Amino acid sequence: MAELLRGRRIHGGRARAQLLVSGEALSFFGGVDPDTGIVTERGHPLEGRSVAGKVLAFPHGKGSTVGSYSIYRLARQGRGPAAIVNQVCETIVAVGAIIADIPCVDHIDLLRLEDGALAEVDADRGTVEVLDR
């Protein structure tokens, strides 16, 4: 059964893809390989997994402001997330989503998202719909 979650639009657009969910913050500079989209941060719950083409859900970003460019680089190489969902989207992730043209929504309760489920993000409306668990 589908569940509709309402949040806040950071950058508009729509995406439908599998959820990749983490309860820990993520650094795009040094934590995600910009050539492959693989999370490389040692000990991170998503270590070894790819963000490419996924609805990437995590509490907030962390690390260097270069992370914004790293998100852009991922997208330019076809390895970026299909959408980004945060509890609180801070400046690094917001700027990265905007320059990379990745739909982004925040103020979403990540505990309501299940890793691997199919989700549809309508960032224009600020919604995330979990379609299949």
Give the CATH number for residue 35.
3.50.30.10
Q: Over the stretch 74-90, which tens digit does the pLDDT of each residue have?
A: 999 999 999 999 999 99
Active site (catalytic) residues:
64
Q: How many other CB atoms are there within 10 angstroms of residue 2's CB atom?
A: 11
How many structural domains comprise the chain? 1
Distance CA 39, CA 6 (A): 27
pTM value is 0.96
**CB contact at 8 A, 69 and 41:** no
**CB contact at 8 A, 121 and 85:** yes
Range of the domain at 87: 3-132
Residue 133 has a pLDDT of 66
Q: Which residue has the tokens 């076809």?
A: 78
Q: Over the stretch 10-47, which tens digit does the pLDDT of each residue have?
A: 999 999 999 999 999 999 999 999 999 999 999 999 99
**Please, which pLDDT band fits residue 2 given cuts at 50, 70 and 90?**
confident
For 97-128, b/e burial (b = at least 16 CB within 10 A) is: bbebebbbbbbbebeebeeeebbbbbbeebbb
With residues binned 3-state (H G I as helix, E B as strand, rest as coil), the percentages for the chain, rounded to 5, are 20, 35, 50
